[in-house]
Structure 1
């Protein structure tokens, strides 16, 4: 069985310029994803898919492969990561006659990526015979008791029927943790729907999850990282 990691890392990030290679706690943030993939010993190949020479150079310096440069059509603000993995799988088949059986899409901005949960994802994918297994975490507060601010600046309950319900009686709700997405090659190649019954969750603790899209996110992630490191 051939298993690869694909790390999408385009160069055109706008809200945080050069986000994928910006220094995070002393080293390029993409390095954490590469090193976690390598350290897990789960992958035959760790491949970075990028359109950017600087990102490619950094990725190679940490031991990842960059066998191709991603086409422009897959490097804009609207391209999903599953399409990037699909392109990688197709390129390997066409150019190297290399047919991977399983791929794991790992985000380049995932400094909390944990080898234990990576392995758990692969184990779940194989044992449950699903097409995807990906990282999720629970919301810190029940979304069923969310509030909205109306046009007059007043507070209203988004779901008024849940305001009086005890929090312990409310169903836990989860969201994508944006770290990794295991999938069979067929799932990526034939555009299977990730958020569907063919997927199984890998539940991460909230302290290992921080989406990084803004400067505030970045600062919070570094504070979390230093706190965890001190432990």
Structure 2
């Protein structure tokens, strides 16, 4: 069994300039994804797909490979993840590398833990009818009781028939945790949909999940990371 990690990391972040290599609690942000991949012990190669020389240098410093420079047509603000992963797989296959499994790991996941990468691959291997396994977490509040703000400043329930229901009587809902996406190589190449019945959820605790798209997100992620590190250190000492 051969598994490869692909970490997309383009250089053109707008809202947080140089986000992928900005210092996060003492290290470049992308370093955490590379280190989690290494700690999992699952990958024969950890490949960073980037268009940026600075990211290339830092990725190699932390032990990843950057065997190609991502082409401009795959580096704009609108390109999705699947074409980037497919391009990397095509490159590797042309070099004679034939992975059975490919895991896309986002470069903005400093809370990612190796154990969940291991769970993802294990679940995919155990469920031969599934194509993908990816990280999810639960919403902190019932989405069925969401409200919207109206143009006149008032509010209304999005689901009026459910707004009065007790939380415990409503179905729990989950969202993409934005950390990793395991897939069979052929599923990636065929462009199979990720959010579909042929995918498995790997459920993460909410305190290990934070999107990092804005400066506020960044601050919250650092607070969560510091709290997690402190808690783990105390647990180890005890």
Same fold (TM over 0.5): yes
1:81 corresponds in structure 2 to: 81
Alignment coverage as a number of residue pairs: 230
Give the drift of 1:151. 1.2
Deviations 1:49-87 (A, max 9, x none): 000000000000001000000011110111111111110
Given the alignment of the two structures, is residue 100 of structure 1 paired with residue 103 of structure 2, yes or no?
no
SS in 2 for 1:104: strand
SS at match of 2:179: strand
Cα distance in structure 2, aligned partners of 1:128 and 1:188: 17
d(CA) in 1 for partners of 2:124 and 2:190? 17
**Number of the residue aligned with 1:198:** 198
Cα distance, 1:158 vs structure 2: 0.8
Q: CA deviation at 1:107?
A: 0.3
Q: Which residue number corresponds to residue 49 of structure 1?
A: 49
Q: Which runs of 4+ in 1 moved over 6 A?
A: none
Note the C-alpha offset of 1:197.
Answer: 1.0
Task: Provide the alpha-carbon RMSD of the alignment.
Answer: 0.6
Which residue is 1:165 aligned to? 165
User: Deviation of residue 99 (structure 1)?
Assistant: 1.3
Q: TM-score, normalised by structure 2?
A: 0.96
Task: Write the distance in 1 (CA, Å) between the matches of 2:66 and 2:73.
Answer: 18
SS at match of 2:109: coil
CA distance in 1, matches of 2:151, 2:69: 47
| Residue 13 (structure 1) aligns with | 13
Q: Could you list the runs of 5+ residues in structure 1 that have no partner in the other structure?
A: none
The alignment's TM-score, normalised by the length of structure 1, stands at 0.98
1:208 Cα offset (Å): 0.3
